[in-house]
Amino acid sequence: MTPFEVSSTSDPRFARCFELLNKTNQFNTTGRRWTEAEIGEFFVAEGRLLAFDIRDKYTSYGLTALMLVARDAIEQFVMSCRVFGMEIERACVAIACDAIATSCGGAPKAKIKATDRNVLSMNVYENANFVNIGGGLWELTRERKPTVPEHIAVEIIQ
């Protein structure tokens, strides 16, 4: 797994991120669809797009997961069905929580909204030790920090 950040709509990787964000239904924590202008405004407001290239010993799945992070909150998390069952979501949440802690220092939060299609994503934050604080908002306490599963190697590109 290789995480990276996309910080503008002019980034060459943005087009694939935008496609994944707006096409994913089953693992999509809010179901929200974005326009390119809205994402541009999100970046201007210091929002972050954390993306993840996934590969295993057999194949490269490419960019198959991303998170929109605003300050201390994961606003939306989407992941392709191609990597279901690999515990990629656990690794993504752990990496996002570390990024939030580094940039904000506060307790990470996450938003979730049930739709008629996103049942597969409904337990992602509960499984990562977040606590439901109501209104579709979850919060992580410092003593329950999620970790990357042992079978997943994270490669950081400088």
**pLDDT digits over 36-95, tens only?**
999 999 999 999 999 999 998 899 999 999 999 999 999 999 999 989 889 999 999 999
Long-range contacts of 44-47 (CB under 8 A, 24+ apart): 45/70, 46/70, 46/71, 47/75
Q: Sketch out the chain's domains with CATH numbers.
A: 2-144 (3.40.630.30)
98-133 pLDDT tens trace: 999 888 877 899 999 999 999 999 999 999 999 999
Beta strands across the sheet bearing 109-111: 2-6, 48-55, 60-70, 73-79, 109-111, 137-140, 130-134
Share the mean pLDDT of the chain. 92
Cβ 118 vs Cβ 31: under 8 Å: yes
Q: What is the pTM of this model?
A: 0.93
Residue 73 · residue 108 · CB < 8 Å: yes
Could you identify the residue written with the tokens 């996002």? 96
Chain centroid offset of residue 108 CA: 12
pLDDT for res 153: 86
Block residue for tokens 């201390």? 72
pLDDT at 158 over 70: no
